[in-house]
Structure 1
Amino acid sequence: MQVSRTVAALPGVEDAALMMGTPANQEILENSDLLVPDGESAGGGDLIVAIRAEDETAATAAMDQAVLLLDHPAAVRAASAAVQPRTLRSALRVDPNANLALISVPGDFAAAEARKALRAGLHVMIFSDNVSLD
């Protein structure tokens, strides 16, 4: 979300969103007039980078910035002083008293991540679509 906000704030950018290619997210992008044919063919494990800009120059600059931020996540993290763990194990090292895991990954991976959190003794909330209740 931080990359989306950064890109949306660039000069000449009218709207921007970076979302996984799930059907629900595709619908959100469609309703925002941000979904193009490449995004329509994206799968749940794909990242859609959608940008609406005043002109081609602004759109290209915004896409270049999005790619830079995605390729160099340290640049995004540098803007935030907060520690941002990338795994459950590293998050528990940062805060061993944590008792809740919020799982927000594509549905195919959500169950496995939830099982890891449950085995670690955490409460789990899954914020993903296409997750079976079984």
Structure 2
Amino acid sequence: MTLLSPNFTVTYCQNCDGGMQEMSTMIECLRTVFPLAAIETVREDRYPLEVKIVASTPIISEEIPVWSGKQQHLFEKYRVRRRKTIKTIIKNLEQFKQNLENSQEALDDQSLDPDDESKINVVKIQELPALVSIETP
């Protein structure tokens, strides 16, 4: 069993230019921390413009929120806000990776004797940090 091969879904909004720049930025952040991860992109047509990154693993069936925020914070024209948002995304991804590694170590440490299934304990995956969104007036 491995937790360290998560799949990610990047959801972004179709802006007047299609939202490709913001989607590419989020994928670059993902590739920084998870270079070989499978990434699916979902483009929505709604307002307000929000973006999010969620993860799933072979063991955990539900989506795990990694980051969400306003799409405008990833616009090139807001350089300072964009840099802060990129740092926040990478920080959340690194924390998520650390949580996966800790959970994987706990799984690996359990002895799985096929004759004694009663020794199998449930491994609790640590909670992710609260989602951070940078809001500036």
TM-score range, shorter chain: under 0.3
Q: Which structure ranks higher in relative contact order (CA pairs < 8 Å, sequence separation ≥ 6)?
A: 2
Q: TM-score, normalised by structure 2?
A: 0.27
TM-score using structure 1 length: 0.28
